[in-house]
Amino acid sequence: MTLTAVLTVGSTRFDPLVGAALSPSALAALSSLGVTRLLAQVGNSALPRDWAEGASTVPGGLVVEVVRFLGDLEAKVGEADLVVSHAGAGSILSFVRPLTPSPSSSSPSAPSTPSQSHRRLVLVPNSTLMDSHQSDLAGEMEQKGWAVVCREPSDLAETLRALASEVRRGGTPQHSFPALDTGKVQRILDEALGFV
């Protein structure tokens, strides 16, 4: 089985996460999880030495594609088996509520969205942003069983190795997300604007 992973820092700069994710130890840990392809969306982050934009194959056969920004990043996150992300709300939402494929994308060559219960989200909060709000959001996701949290980028390889060990032992699948209530925002707006 071919597994794909996405690293995303969103539109921010998060050099420590990019450096940790592209380190030999983290790439080896991804391979041990069965990941064969990593899309690394690095935003404005500095790339580690010996890395450049584009695709390359690292020892062990893992294909790594490094990009700054992508117009279809939300779709890529929604299709990935594993997402390693800063703990930004937009990136988390892309994982939790993947874009549904359009009817025209139901061709045999169109990628399929992995089963929600087997997908994994690893959050690495960027504690330098706005009162450490990413740490709070990541903590809530972890408490509900919706994500694994790596508190420090330097611990990413170890977090991925622990996840690989859990998966090999048949560890518990990620908890299901609550059903989407498409009318909730409308009800809040109606109430705030005095329509109800």
Strands annotated E in 68-137: 82-85, 120-123
Which CATH number is 88's domain given?
3.40.50.2000
Q: What is the pLDDT of residue 129?
A: 75
3-state secondary structure of 23: coil
Residue range of the domain that includes 42: 3-192
Q: pLDDT tens across 60-87, in order?
A: 899 999 999 999 999 999 899 999 999 9
Q: What is the pLDDT of residue 161?
A: 95
Domain count, the chain: 1
- Compute the mean pLDDT over every residue in the chain, rounded to the nearest whole number: 86
Distance separating alpha carbons of residues 10 and 85, to the nearest angstrom: 8
d(CA 178, CA 166): 24
Contact partners, residue 87, CB within 8 Å, separation at least 6:
123, 124, 125, 126, 134, 135, 137, 138, 141, 149
Confidence category of residue 117, pLDDT binned at 50, 70, 90: low
